[in-house]
Amino acid sequence: MPAHEHTKPNDERAPLLRERVHPTPLPKSQIIPLLLLMITEPVMSLSIMPYINELVSQLPTTGGDDRKAGYYAGIILSLYYVGMSTTVMQWSRLSDVIGRKPVLISGTLGLVATISLFGLSRTFWGLAASRFLAGALNGNSGVMKSMLAEMSDETNMARAFATIPLSWAIGAAAGPYVGGLLSRPHDSWPELFSSPFWVRYPYFLPCAVASAYAMASVILACVFLKETLPTNPENAKARKNKLNASDVENNSEQEDHLGPSSRTLLTRPVLLTVSTYGSFVFLEIAGWVLLPLVYTTPVQFGGLGLDPARMGACMAVYGILKGILQLVVFHRILDFLGLRGALIAFLSGLLPLFLLFPINSIRVQFAGTDTVLWILVLVQLISTIGVNMAYGCTFIYITSAAPSGMLGATFGLTQTIASVLRAIGPAIAASLYSFSLENDIMGGYAVFYALSLCTFASLWLATRLPPDRW
């Protein structure tokens, strides 16, 4: 009988405490190249954040109206997740068949091609197409989680999944810094970037640097990263079954074979965990979209009026703080509060994130960008760090909820739901922000109050999860 079954019912923290007495060492030689691949996605997606509002406002579509830029920026940001939602389940199920590594490599190469296309696009439709293709060609998110689960066991799974928010913390520091620093290089370093190319494509340089990093991570993964699927007997058996199913010529027989496998995912643990995960994914992506929009929107329209360089610096500082706190406090909070308690505590950071938007806006209108404002901005950024840590908690729940032999498919379903919510989140948040400003609803701050109410619903879902893993 597993050790956690002997735990007293009233001691919710004991299982996690016991598992950390003698944890199995993580395979660092495999974690490191996988971590480098993980960093690729936040670098690619977040490097455009400091300048996306400025870029969109310069398009003929917006007519130079900063208040309308939010609509179009939200659409462009959403299309990445629209593309991902159409293919991520297929990529994850494919990884159950052919292995994790080839799917990861091909997905990263897709990011390399599409971020380059984004930097060379000068129309709204070009930007939109490149973002959609970036999501459709990239199924890495679910596959990476499956790979981490196969690299770890119950004694070190929390530490393994902690590398996911850590990778986003690193990417959140590097991506925006690169995007803010290297955008419009002909203005910053005219002696080095005097070619008409840089005037015509002022945002290509940060895209090229992000693409170069992605290629370097692919090369390292090809050399050092090992396949995890064949070494796991349970997954190997599932792979064999899937391969056998593909050879069935009769369509009805094939449907009978594959149908129950899909229905097997629809269990209470999977559905409740995915619902909780999806709720805060929507809120987190809404917050992430609002941060650059509000920070770069002119002060007279309710924003902070930051330029791309200062916006990138803010997000870089945030990423560094997030990485440090992730390493220092994540396991301590997990040990002290237990899995469910830690998840609820982490999700509570969404409330100050949304409520500080109107406070900061009012402050800058009356006192400018003074020290108090920067302190409030810092508090707001730190409040989102807990939300990032919540991912590690939910990944443990998802892994324990997955039916036998369907780990990749379970993470694929999770990522599909998350991708759909991430697709509508930016459009909803950015559109509501612009709509609130244009119509002066609740002083232009209606979107922040609405998202604060949604946060309470996410917290309620978290309370329905078991104290420990399923």
Tens digits of residue pLDDT in 41-56: 888 888 887 788 788 8
Q: Which residues touch 408 (CB under 8 Å, ≥6 apart)?
A: 92, 93, 95, 96, 100, 142, 143, 146, 235
Q: Quote the CA–CA distance of 125 and 313 in Å, as a whole number.
A: 29
- Of residues 102 and 321, more confidently modeled: 102
Please give the sequence-ordered ranges of beta strands (E in DSSP) within 83-212, or none if there are none: none
The secondary structure of residue 370, as a DSSP letter, is: -
Residue 243, pLDDT score: 39
**Confidence band (pLDDT; 50, 70, 90) for 319?**
low
pLDDT for 381 beyond 90 = no
Q: Quote the CA–CA distance of 178 and 183 in Å, as a whole number.
A: 8
Condensed to tens digits (0 to 9), the pLDDT of residues 167-220 reads: 777 887 788 888 888 888 888 888 888 888 998 898 899 999 999 999 999 999
Nearest to 296 by CA among 124, 103, 469, 58: 58
Number of C-beta neighbours around residue 438 at 10 A: 15
Q: Which residues touch 402 (CB under 8 Å, ≥6 apart)?
A: 270, 410, 411
Number of C-beta neighbours around residue 257 at 10 A: 16
**What is the percent of the chain where pLDDT is above 90?**
6
Condensed to tens digits (0 to 9), the pLDDT of residues 115-160 reads: 989 988 888 888 989 999 988 888 787 788 778 878 877 777 767 7
SS3 letters for 281-316?
HHHHHHHHHHHHHHHHCCHHHCCCCCCHHHHHHHHH
Please give the sequence-ordered ranges of beta strands (E in DSSP) within 92-187, or none if there are none: none
pLDDT for 246 beyond 50 = no
Residue 276, pLDDT score: 87
Residue 308, pLDDT score: 67
Is 272 in contact with 398 (CB distance < 8 Å)? no
Residue 262, pLDDT score: 57
Residue 220, pLDDT score: 92
pLDDT for 240 beyond 60 = no
Residue 260, pLDDT score: 41
Burial class (CB in 10 A: 0-12, 13-18, 19+), 38: buried
**Confidence band (pLDDT; 50, 70, 90) for 10?**
very low
Give the count of alpha carbons within 13 A of 218, CB side only. Answer: 20
Once rounded to an integer, what is the mean pLDDT over residues 208-233? 84
Tokens read off for 398:
């998802």
Once rounded to an integer, what is the mean pLDDT over residues 441-451? 82
Is 225 in contact with 34 (CB distance < 8 Å)? yes
Burial class (CB in 10 A: 0-12, 13-18, 19+), 465: buried
Residue 151, pLDDT score: 82
Query: % helix / strand / coil in the chain, to the nearest 5?
Result: 80, 0, 20
Residue 250, pLDDT score: 39
pLDDT for 235 beyond 90 = no
Residue 253, pLDDT score: 39
Q: Which CATH architecture has domain 26-229+236-241+265-463?
A: Up-down Bundle (1.20)
Q: Which residues touch 363 (CB under 8 Å, ≥6 apart)?
A: 372, 373, 376
Question: 């030689």: which residue's tokens?
Answer: 29
Condensed to tens digits (0 to 9), the pLDDT of residues 262-273 reads: 566 677 788 888
Once rounded to an integer, what is the mean pLDDT over residues 251-279? 64
